[in-house]
A and B are shown apart, each in its own frame.
Chain A
């Protein structure tokens, strides 16, 4: 597997480490109800198809990436900086 880091270009899988679903970016407010926190911490989708994961370019530039890929075809559809995704989500909230 090869992932295209927006900074470093396409790199071998072994430079990256996996974290989990990109829903980790959607941290609830501190005062959000427990159910919302429960969902954020523990509930995950397991799609046969397009999914968004967080990967860390650990042996590279240390960027956190949101990788959009298809679990059926193994195709990678997009690699975005988690920072950009998070900032965009913030703007959308406002």
Chain B
């Protein structure tokens, strides 16, 4: 019910929204919770397990009950806290975890069964038979108990991530936070002030407080105006600091557009990474409930929340409101209600010595021992010990005292410290480096105390930053002392709820203790207390106190569970912001990409690169036909392929040769200028890292080629060897992969093609097989390498990338004239398998130089990376699986990659495996499939028939072990 008052709602701006299909009106500045309360709606949700009717319980992000689904379709967001969600025109909210409707929920039958459904019920009941665990029990239980659901449609909204930096991060903008931010900002510090709420001011927005003799909100506005005018301050509202991490890193979630009807291009949320040199934690405190019987009725709420609704939203959550507490908050609430003209049904203070104002139906040393009203509170029963009285009330405000919001101080492993006087945990000293708790977060609860402590904390931070605070007076404010008499549980008939969201009662915690789950961590997991989306913000300390009592220990001895990030739920979409679709990973395109797409080539990913798979032509029966044709280009005429994706590393320096001798297992210092050599690189553990060619361009100048996949890894490796292992060598290297567009021109007519293209014909003496040098194309300086990955007479030509697209088009056109054309990855793979050339299918990380038949390349005359380890026992010898070729005994036999190899007469079981297939293709040159693989003692078993079995595809083929080079074994075509 809306009342008069000067809250933070804009009565000139009515907002229409809907809840469970019914239309309501609120005002700008309302949350979903305050607007529903203003409309007299008390029932807002159903509990997780028992489907108990529940109403809004708090006015902040700690809300356990009023969780709703907002939006529809792809934009549907479940488990939105109605206390955080601001209303906007057209907002659609729906209740959750109920069927068919919120008021008539069939699964509330669980509530009747609650005597059987206590802690550990599932663990004890659904044990047998085991086969039912995943198929029956879990799905049924999950269906019955739960929260809201996602739509299943992809979320199309925008989310952002962003980085921010500051000297001082102030978390919270109550009196402590504002004072800290102001003090630091005036001293010139670079300040970020984060406020979770949609309005700065903290509790000052929700209390009838005065500062300097005027309403506290005036002071808040004045401070904000000053902060806003300073260039060194960044004000961030709707921003929850969710985690504290190493070296002053903080995570924060900003609700950018969740309160807007049309976000446009705005992100819904931004996840901030904030690097702060210092931090003032002024996150305030959370009021805690009291576990009295049947304390979960819609209409029962925290006293501070009630005051928020009253003062900030001008809503009276009930017509006849009772108040129950163990501290002065109860009296304050009753007085505020009376001042607002709301009838106070009773003021119940558990402290016998409490001083209660006159004019109330007041009870000292009394407790609420029962409530009535299934769908909404109707009455409470108050007991003074000697007598009981039933009092009609439709709302009960409860205050069990305050828990400092110290979660962030625990994120790096520190444990909070129990304070007897405040009956609360306080942040441990130096719990997070650079973080200074202040005000209520540190257990200081008066406004004057918070203002002073905020200033103190800022001064402490400024000192650490090497800045000096300007002298300034503290504003005058109330300095009311905080006195609390611990009251955790009220005995009586009926369930007393601790964790509202996960339906954990006092009895459940006691039962856990009884069944010897005495450790707080065990109790938590057994009862699920504190494991809901509110992470026990309302229930941890209460549950702990009950456990301490049940186990006969004090609270400090019982300990606490660990607070971990995030402080409040963070949507995965915000954390993964931008990384969807095209943002998932960088895409790398060659200069020939557009031409390949124009030719209809399906592209395949090779690392981050996109390369053409094959080039289809009208009438092709499928990819195989295109592939065979392209293999034919290279074997019979000339084929062109973009090989720019291979890593190219330019290596220069007086010690370049010595360096290469150390990183390659074979020798490069002996390579002549203008020549290319195949190189094999090992890891220090003796296994092959990568291979490729390396050209000597000058006396102290080499150009290394890596495989496409390992380019980054090799670069990192070279940097490591150079910086960390051989720092005395004067050598430097830089990747030139991006600068050069490089194309393979392969086949018997490659020379003819190049002669027609280059400014001068290829000079045979300068370009023998494995020769390299400079040429020009249309006046453009280019590099030519006579190397072959196909076994044919072949070249690779490189030009600066700006000419890549033009050169590729020209090369392909010329190749087509000569009866050839472009070839893709499929053909490239066939060409290399036919020649027994390896790729990372073979050098997959577990093979040694010995295994691939290159053991003798590990030079005996020098040290190199991997040399010592490659001599280890077990890394060579007949027991090793070694590279072989395989051809089917019958021409139609299939040789799928991944299949295992067995002796012909042994059963194909795992322990009998003698090897496996790594690469396979149909060889158009031979007319049947061929494969490369690894076989124990393979090279000595050539001619032997082995059994290939692919259990996955159900293939069994007899094949003959052969040399891995299927075509032109003496290399005449390549060299000639």
Contacts and interface: CB of A to CB of B under 8 A. Distances in A.
* Contact between chain A and chain B defined by CB under 8 Å: yes
A2 B685 CA distance: 31
A75 B868 CA distance: 36
A39 interface: no
B723 A86 contact: yes
A41 B869 contact: yes
Interface in B700-725: 716, 719-720, 723-725
A34 B716 CA distance: 27
B163 A12 contact: yes
A87 interface: yes
Contact of A1 (B247, B716, B863): B247
A59 to B, nearest CB: 11
Interface string A11-22: 010000101000
Contacts of B507: none
A41 B685 contact: yes
B725 A25 contact: yes
Interface in A65-94: 74-76, 81-83, 85-87, 90
Contact of A24 (B246, B724, B867): B724
Contact of B720 (A28, A56, A87): A56
B273 interface: yes
Given A25-B725, A64-B719, A1 B684 contact: no
Nearest to B683: A41
A56 B716 contact: yes
Contacts of B716: 17, 56, 58
Contacts of A64: 719-720, 723-724
Contacts of B719: 56, 62, 64
A49 to B, nearest CB: 14
A27 B725 contact: yes
Contact of B724 (A2, A62, A75, A86): A86
Interface in B298-342: none
Interface string A46-67: 0000000010101000111000
Given A2-B248, A74-B412, A76-B247, A30 B727 contact: no
Interface string B683-695: 0110000000000
B245 interface: yes
B249 interface: yes
A24 B685 CA distance: 12
Interface residues of A, number: 31
Contacts of B275: 2, 10, 12
B190 to A, nearest CB: 15
A1 B246 CA distance: 5
Nearest to A11: B275
B725 A12 contact: no
A54 B724 contact: yes
Contacts of A24: 724
Given A2-B249, A12-B275, A24-B724, A75 B872 contact: no
Contacts of A10: 247, 275
Interface in B845-886: 863, 867-869, 872
Contact of B723 (A27, A28, A75, A82): A82
Interface string B85-125: 00000000000000000000000000000000000000000
B723 A30 contact: no
B733 to A, nearest CB: 10
Nearest to A42: B685
Contacts of A34: 868, 872
A9 B167 CA distance: 16
B724 A25 contact: yes
Contacts of A76: 246-247
B634 to A, nearest CB: 37
B728 interface: yes
B616 interface: no
A56 to B, nearest CB: 6
B579 to A, nearest CB: 12
Interface string B772-783: 000000000000
Nearest to B734: A62
A69 to B, nearest CB: 9
B556 interface: no
Contacts of A27: 684, 725
Residue of B275, B433, B724 with most partner-chain A CB within 10 A: B724
A38 to B, nearest CB: 8
Contacts of A2: 246-249, 275
Contacts of B724: 24-25, 54, 64, 82-83, 85-86
Residue of B684, B725, B867, B868 with most partner-chain A CB within 10 A: B868
A29 to B, nearest CB: 8
Contacts of B273: 12
A2 to B, nearest CB: 4
A65 to B, nearest CB: 9
Interface in B244-283: 245-249, 273, 275
A64 B275 CA distance: 23
Contacts of A63: 723
Contacts of A1: 245-247, 249
B723 A83 contact: yes
Contacts of A90: 727-728
Contacts of B248: 2
Contacts of B685: 41
30 contacts: A1-B245, A1-B249, A2-B247, A2-B249, A2-B275, A10-B275, A12-B249, A12-B275, A27-B684, A27-B725, A30-B868, A34-B868, A34-B872, A41-B685, A41-B869, A54-B720, A56-B719, A62-B719, A63-B723, A64-B719, A74-B247, A75-B433, A76-B247, A82-B720, A82-B723, A83-B727, A85-B724, A86-B723, A90-B727, A90-B728
Interface of B: 163, 245-249, 273, 275, 412, 433, 684-685, 716, 719-720, 723-725, 727-728, 863, 867-869, 872
Given A10-B247, A30-B867, 9 more contacts: A2-B248, A2-B249, A30-B863, A41-B685, A64-B720, A64-B724, A76-B246, A76-B247, A81-B723
Query: Which 5 residue pairs spanning A and B have beta carbons closest together?
Result: A30-B863, A2-B247, A82-B724, A1-B246, A83-B723
